[in-house]
Structure 1
Amino acid sequence: MDWMVILNIVILLALIGLLIFMQRKHVSFSKRVFTGLGLGIVLGALLQWVYGSGSETLATTTDWYNVVGRGYINFLMMIVVPLVMVSIIQAITNLEKSAQLGKMAGWIIGILIVTTMVAAMIGIGAAAIFDLSAEEITVGEAEQERAASLEERYSSQVETVSTPQRILNFIPSNIFFDMTGQRSTSVIAVVIFSIFVGVAVLGVRRKNPEQAEMFTKIVNAVYAVVMRIVTLVLRLTPYGILALMANMIASTDFAGILELGKFVLASYVALGVMFILHLVLVGLFGLNPLNYLRKVLPVLSFAFTSRSSAGTIPLNISAQKNALGVDQGVANMSASFGATMGQNGCAGIYPAMLAFMIAPSVGIDPLTMDFLVPLILIIGFSSFGIAGVGGGATFAALIVLSSMGLPVGLAGLLISIEAFIDMGRTALNVNGSMVSGTLTSRILGNFNTKVFNDKTAIEEAKSL
């Protein structure tokens, strides 16, 4: 192994040691998370400055850093399925009536889809203001290969799958297969199965209360163990963010970002406007937006660096329940649904901007109602089942563009900046799910205002 790689590993271990020292000094969890974030930015910038983005030493270094960064994400993904399943079953068994479940799911899904359609309009507005056009995108060899790959993927995975078939994919035919997370709709499938189990327990409780009570005790015991595992994994968050951010900065193609600077700027302006709208919604429901922002920042910082809405589910649930005061059942469902549907950034803003840019190239005026209304509706309905991992935005774009009869190759021409923009989109996706949970809990009257106003209740900082 190159001695420079060994030196880089030693530096990472030293920074991890610093974070461990901060933990032993009882520095708050949120401060350790942001310290890890800052140290990762500095370390990544130094690595790229010293070695250059195409260096073999840098590639080997980031590969070793992934043991910490991607390893942490794998730990989170490991607990997603058991957490979602057990927590939703427990939440439903605590309901007095199954009708409450319908209201909860209806409000969560409604808020997710409506905000995604609003995000699409904001994306269109940003593309129009910045006068974005597909013809401005420079085509290189890598971009041409990616465009050809997407065309092939479109014909095999998107064009042959109708909307009814995509809806049918939500329904689990083999729950054990979906527990492995092999499908983009696996999380929703697990949620649906868990809902069936929870509703079945409510039915058993009316006829055989003793059996229902026994099952409930088992579920509560398993839930306690799962939550303890979640706590143990979440303690690794500062170290995971450190490594993830270092790798992201070190491997980012800043030349590509500068070359496509107008698209990058328009994308982040749209993301910023939608994020502000989220805070406005929180304020309209009688909650302090700044207090909300302070409590969700640790979660959003992880979503930003990991680019995984699904991997953020455990942090999402924990923050909603312990920092925001959202009802446990609402938090479980909004985090799970938000990772696979109604993603404001990936399924809303991004496909809308691409459709606006491509339309003129095929002779369509993108500012006419005949184009805008179908586009926004398609974005809303097609946002179901988008995988909450890196690449989900591209798949969402393929579905929307093909449904609108537009060529899909443009997504391949943005290969050099995809990861950089995807970080912001993922953070917005996660924030959208947290907003849907907060508003739904507020509407249903089971929101804990005391916890929300408690400035010390941030992401279980006391126990982490």
Structure 2
Amino acid sequence: MLLLVNLLSFSALCYLLYRLRCRGWPLSRQILAGLMAGAVYGVGLQVAWSGRADLLTDTLQWTGIVASGYVSLLRMIIMPLVLVMMVAAVLKMREVADLGKIGGAVVGLLIATTMVAAVVGILVTSAFGLTADSITQGARELASADLLAQRYETVAGLGLPDMLVRFVPANVFYDLTEARPTSIIAVVLFGILFGVAALQVARSEPARGAQIEAFVDTARLVVLRLVHIVMALTPYGILALIGGVVARSDAADILNLLAFVVASYLAIGIMFAVHALLLRVHGMGLRHYFRSVWPVLAFAFTSRSSAASIPLNVETQIDKLQVATPIASLSATLGATIGQNGCAGIYPAMLAVMIAPSMGIDPLAWDFMAGLVGIIAISSFGVAGVGGGATFAALIVLPAMGFPVTVAAVLISIEPLIDMARTALNVNGAMTAGVVTQRWLGASVARD
């Protein structure tokens, strides 16, 4: 009976969101309403049933159908969107040289901002005086440390060449199932090569070239319509996602590691300011920008998935920020796997600085900082190659510095709370790279 009450409350909130849609609310306001409703629902569950873990678990299993179903639908359209948009982007560029300019600018911006993020992580951690010894390790964290050590064995033997080789598709149909951590980049490469081949056919046989362009453009319109259909479900998905995150949060864990949480959010906030400065220098109005992108950031925050944010990322860049389709496609897809400011930049830098004093190293020494930033820049290419995420970034960076990896397990209990903001920062970095690249290249790249 209590479970039924919880589910009826959830259904009532879904109906409320539906009524807001019927009243003509724009999607951005619907998403905000879903975010607030989810937070209230999660807090209500935690307060009402703090002593009934079984009831809380059962409730979240049912509401998780909406959350997991929505994320699954988004993941369903990622690969078709990436493939079709890549082929369409190459066909519209006409010249392969333009592809090199766009790709170089986007990747360069992603790596540069990741290096800045690493410096920010170093300075903020030092300012807070955080050290690995100052964090209490409970039984759960020690158990996680053992698991983390086992996971480290899967990446310990991988060098940068091995990681880069994994980006090359051996079987594109296999990668279209998103079976590998590097599947997105593999599909991007296949789409680019397919588009280049289509360009060559169009030059040698103009009639067939026109047919190819018409087919690809039709496929692009169909996929974008599918994106719009799934995007209409975003408020309900965010309601379920944020409700689950809030309901599962452990206040004791958060308070125990509060200094690290605050330091992490401060570092993330500083990087958002760096992005804003970069945008303002290139003539982008910040009010317009953040009003346009905050639904994407809200989804990234709640879903904790840069890859799942790709469809909304691409659509927002093209429709709201006036970024050319080729640039938007490359920045959104590459930004989900390369040069992630939050996961590959801030997090491993903070962990390295926390460990350094116990190793007899001054974390503010120039040689240490330069080495750490350089390793982070290089390893940011390899994060996707070993599964993605901040933990795997730490598994690459810390051993390269000669540091133990088990300290990452200490933070497992609060990982979701910080990872939400890190993911939003990753996605914002990708959109910033797209906007700045558009300003650099300007009219030399076709808009549609």
Q: TM-score band, normalised by the shorter chain?
A: over 0.9
Aligned pair partner of 1:189 in 175, 183, 186:
186
**Residue 424 of structure 2 aligns with which residue?**
427
Return the letter of the residue paired with 1:360.
P
> Matched residues in 2 for 1:446 and 1:67: separation?
45
Residue 433 of structure 2: SS of its match in structure 1? helix
Quick check: 1:368 aligned with 2:365? yes
> Matched residues in 1 for 2:214 and 2:285: separation?
37
Aligned pair partner of 2:437 in 427, 437, 440:
440
Quick check: 1:88 aligned with 2:64? no
Residue 308 of structure 1: SS of its match in structure 2? coil
Aligned pair partner of 1:72 in 64, 70, 73:
70
Aligned pair partner of 1:122 in 120, 123, 148:
120
Shifted more, 47-56 versus 424-433: the winner is 47-56
Aligned pair partner of 1:24 in 18, 22, 46:
22
Aligned pair partner of 2:275 in 265, 275, 278:
278
1:369 CA displacement? 2.0
Alignment deviations for residues 69-119 of structure 1 (CA, whole Å, 9 cap, x no partner): 121111000000000000110011011211111000000000000000000
Aligned pair partner of 2:257 in 252, 255, 260:
260
> Matched residues in 1 for 2:311 and 2:240: separation?
19
**Residue 56 of structure 1 aligns with which residue?**
54
Aligned pair partner of 1:302 in 293, 299, 302:
299
> Matched residues in 2 for 1:312 and 1:407: separation?
32
Aligned pair partner of 1:180 in 173, 177, 180:
177
Aligned pair partner of 2:159 in 135, 158, 162:
162
Return the letter of the residue paired with 1:88.
M
Following superposition of structure 1 onto structure 2, how do residues 188-337 of structure 1 map, counting pairs within 5 Å?
188-337=185-334
1:266 CA displacement? 0.4
Task: Name the CA shift for 1:53/1:444 in 2 (closer, same or farther; >3 Å).
Answer: farther
> Matched residues in 1 for 2:387 and 2:230: separation?
21
Alignment deviations for residues 25-44 of structure 1 (CA, whole Å, 9 cap, x no partner): 11111111101111111111
> Matched residues in 1 for 2:32 and 2:287: separation?
17
Task: Name the CA shift for 1:151/1:389 in 2 (closer, same or farther; >3 Å).
Answer: closer
Task: Name the CA shift for 1:257/1:445 in 2 (closer, same or farther; >3 Å).
Answer: same
> Matched residues in 2 for 1:441 and 1:347: separation?
24
Residue 367 of structure 1: SS of its match in structure 2? coil
1:24 CA displacement? 1.1
Unaligned 5+ runs, structure 1: 451-464
Shifted more, 262-271 versus 437-446: the winner is 437-446
Q: Does the CA contact (< 8 Å) of 1:8 and 1:61 recur in 2?
A: yes
**Residue 408 of structure 2 aligns with which residue?**
411
Return the letter of the residue paired with 1:182.
A
Return the letter of the residue paired with 2:192.
I
**Residue 336 of structure 2 aligns with which residue?**
339
**Residue 346 of structure 2 aligns with which residue?**
349
> Matched residues in 2 for 1:409 and 1:416: separation?
14
> Matched residues in 2 for 1:396 and 1:316: separation?
23
Aligned residues: 447
1:176 CA displacement? 1.1
> Matched residues in 1 for 2:284 and 2:227: separation?
28
Q: Does the CA contact (< 8 Å) of 1:326 and 1:446 recur in 2?
A: no
Q: Does the CA contact (< 8 Å) of 2:148 and 2:406 recur in 1?
A: yes
Q: Does the CA contact (< 8 Å) of 2:337 and 2:388 recur in 1?
A: no
Unaligned 5+ runs, structure 2: none
> Matched residues in 2 for 1:290 and 1:356: separation?
35
Quick check: 1:392 aligned with 2:389? yes
1:402 CA displacement? 1.1
Return the letter of the residue paired with 2:429.
G
Aligned pair partner of 2:149 in 131, 151, 172:
151
Instruction: Output the aligned Cα RMSD.
Output: 1.8
Task: Please report the TM-score for the alignment, with normalisation by the length of structure 1.
Answer: 0.94
1:323 CA displacement? 0.8
Q: Does the CA contact (< 8 Å) of 2:160 and 2:382 recur in 1?
A: no
Shifted more, 158-167 versus 345-354: the winner is 158-167
Q: Does the CA contact (< 8 Å) of 1:326 and 1:447 recur in 2?
A: no
1:387 CA displacement? 3.9
Percent identical residues: 48
1:349 CA displacement? 0.1
> Matched residues in 1 for 2:443 and 2:226: separation?
26
1:447 CA displacement? 9.7
Return the letter of the residue paired with 1:214.
Q
1:294 CA displacement? 1.1
1:23 CA displacement? 1.0
Task: Name the CA shift for 1:387/1:74 in 2 (closer, same or farther; >3 Å).
Answer: farther
Quick check: 1:12 aligned with 2:14? no
1:279 CA displacement? 0.6
Residue 416 of structure 1: SS of its match in structure 2? helix
1:273 CA displacement? 0.3
Task: Name the CA shift for 1:109/1:20 in 2 (closer, same or farther; >3 Å).
Answer: same
Return the letter of the residue paired with 1:291.
H
> Matched residues in 1 for 2:94 and 2:146: separation?
54
Aligned pair partner of 1:42 in 29, 40, 43:
40
> Matched residues in 2 for 1:376 and 1:137: separation?
24
